[in-house]
Chain A
Amino acid sequence: MTSVSRPIIEAEHLSKTYTLRKKTGRLKRERTTVEAVRDLNLAVAEGELLGYIGPNGAGKSTSIKMFTGILSPSAGRLRVAGLEPIRDRKQLARRIGVVFGQRTTLWWDLPLRDSFALLHRMYAVPDARFAANLKRLVALLELEPLLDTPVRQLSLGQRMRGDLAAALLHDPAVLYLDEPTIGLDVTSKAVVREFLAELNREQGTTIVLTTHDLDDIERLCRRVVVVDHGTVAYDGELDTLRARVAADRTLVVDLAEPVPAIAVPGAAVTRIDGPRQWLAFPAEANAAALVADIAERYELLDVSIRDADIEEVIRNLYTG
């Protein structure tokens, strides 16, 4: 059935233009239009876990705000869960969940329990379903000891778990996540990722994940959509994206003493700072061999390898 059903998110030629008025004189104002999103096409199937990425200001947030019914599109066609976001806003709200890493959707001064009770009524969740969902989410996200704590007293990781539960109490068909792991420690990140993977697998919830953390994408998403300059710049598998842009990795070496730029085959020095040097090398090259090469000729104190981050991958997508 899912193979023939229509996509749960369907955007065709979607555009959003802002008009900004800028003061240019005492009374004069100049109008400038900004195309935050232009001619964006996207189809997300039910049950997908999609990485929705792009540099800051690329139009990710604006498009997500249109998908959630907060912003009205300037042009184009948009359907989410069979509804038209702005026209059917209230109905749509009951079908979607939203989590922002940088801000909470919970009530700051209320204990988690009361926030959940408020959401229960707001989303008109049947009592039995609410009780079952609450029980499941509290167990999965280990919220039991936090239920009576006001949100403002929760740590970032605890708050994020609370926000995740809050977004899912009404069984949304689509969950939008905006930087859900930002600022979290390694353990909390792992908890969030594992939870999302399971949610997607067990409940079949469609997840649209926006993040700058490549690890999030690598661990969770097979399909990646890159948005840049307000439109879809890439839509496909993550591995294909990586290979296509062939972003270099960086090897950072700490030598015993400052030396001129290291000359080794297959790598190029990009930066020198005293005894520390940065070398760029192709992602598919053998890092161990490269380190061994350098160690043969120089006295090495320390090495570290950095993967190209998403920003860099995306930048290469355009310049490369």
Chain B
Amino acid sequence: MVVYALISRQAFRRYLTYRGAMVGGVLANTVFGVIKAFIMMAVWRQRPSIGGYDVADAVTYVFLAQAMIGPMSTLNNGLDIPARIRSGDIGTDLFRPVDFQTYWLANDLGRAAFSVLGRSVVPFVIGALLFHLHLPTDPRVWAAFTVALFLGVVVSFALRYLAAMSTFWLLDEKGVVGMATVVTSFFSGMIVPLVLFPGWLGQLARLLPFAALVQLPADVFLGKRSGGAVGTGYLFEIGWAAALLLAGRLVTRRARHRVVVQGG
């Protein structure tokens, strides 16, 4: 366990060296947050309390979603696996005496932790300064939200890991990762809250693992999920994380047996 904690910490430090990208990300997330906030306000003026949200909930949701772009890595794969497969550097990762998938999970948790501090806080605070946001006053809600966020990152990793591992077979991940990004953005509630999805589409979206990335943590934050519903939310996240991580393990085993490590 110690080694994985250390890997996370080092990943966190590694991302510290890419501050330029962080500033760009913060700026983009903030500007789009403001634009989306105005769109949501227009929608809610027409249809108040749609989906059980009031306008403050909707605007808060927008800035939560913007804040989660970084940690959930919804717009890109965020894992170095495809690049390392193409360069052949993956060979190094494959002979280390650590579990391959857990190694990358540890790396990704370090990345996500950095992302929360580096990319999430500023857009959300600016949103809170510019708009009236619905902020929880109960520290227990903040704590519950943090747990939901953490589990969401694990689900997000498990999904992105599967997409990244496809490089072992396809040698070029762009198609798969591009598709995964579109599906994830849509079904996580990143673009619009899932509560706006009509009928069966909304119900389906809430059952898919992508909901764990944005909609579910946001519901905890906004108090739409409280008490026992928080617990079922966690179970939903844990269940999907376990299933997807297991799928990742099977893929890893297959990949080991057929790898053609590039170069040499």
Chain A residues close to B by CB (< 8 Å): 18, 61, 65, 68-72, 86, 89-91, 93-94, 96, 98, 100, 102-103, 105, 107, 109-110, 114, 117-118, 121-124, 150, 178
Q: Give the residues in chain B near A110, CB-CB below 8 Å.
A: 10, 13-14
Contact yes or no, B10 A93, CB < 8 A: no
Contact yes or no, B7 A118, CB < 8 A: yes
- Given the known A-B contacts A110-B10, A110-B14, A114-B13, are A68 and B95 also in contact in the complex, defined by CB atoms under 8 Å? yes
Bound CA–CA A90/B10 (angstroms): 22
Contact yes or no, B91 A70, CB < 8 A: yes
Q: Does B3 contact A (CB under 8 A)?
A: yes
- Given the known A-B contacts A107-B10, A109-B17, A114-B13, are A121 and B2 also in contact in the complex, defined by CB atoms under 8 Å? yes
Q: Does B92 contact A (CB under 8 A)?
A: yes
Of residues 212 to 264 in B, which have CB atoms within 8 Å of A's CB atoms? Answer: 256-257, 259-261, 263-264
Q: Give the residues in chain B near A68, CB-CB below 8 Å.
A: 95
Q: Does B140 contact A (CB under 8 A)?
A: no
Q: Which residue of B lies closest to A170 (CB)?
A: B97
Contact yes or no, A103 B10, CB < 8 A: no
Q: Give the residues in chain A near B98, CB-CB below 8 Å.
A: 90, 122
Size of the B side of the interface (Cβ < 8 Å), in residues, is: 25
Chain B residues close to A by CB (< 8 Å): 2-3, 6-7, 10, 13-14, 17, 87-89, 91-92, 94-98, 256-257, 259-261, 263-264
Contact yes or no, B259 A70, CB < 8 A: yes
Q: Give the residues in chain B near A18, CB-CB below 8 Å.
A: 260
Q: Give the residues in chain B near A70, CB-CB below 8 Å.
A: 91, 94-95, 259, 261
Contact yes or no, A65 B14, CB < 8 A: no
Q: Which residue of B lies closest to A96 (CB)?
A: B95
Q: Give the residues in chain A near B13, CB-CB below 8 Å.
A: 110, 114
Bound CA–CA A70/B3 (angstroms): 21
A35 CB to closest chain B CB, in angstroms?
14
Q: Give the residues in chain A near B257, CB-CB below 8 Å.
A: 72
Contact yes or no, A90 B89, CB < 8 A: no
Q: Give the residues in chain A near B3, CB-CB below 8 Å.
A: 118, 121-122, 124
Contact with A109, one of B14, B87, B95 (Cβ below 8 angstroms): B14
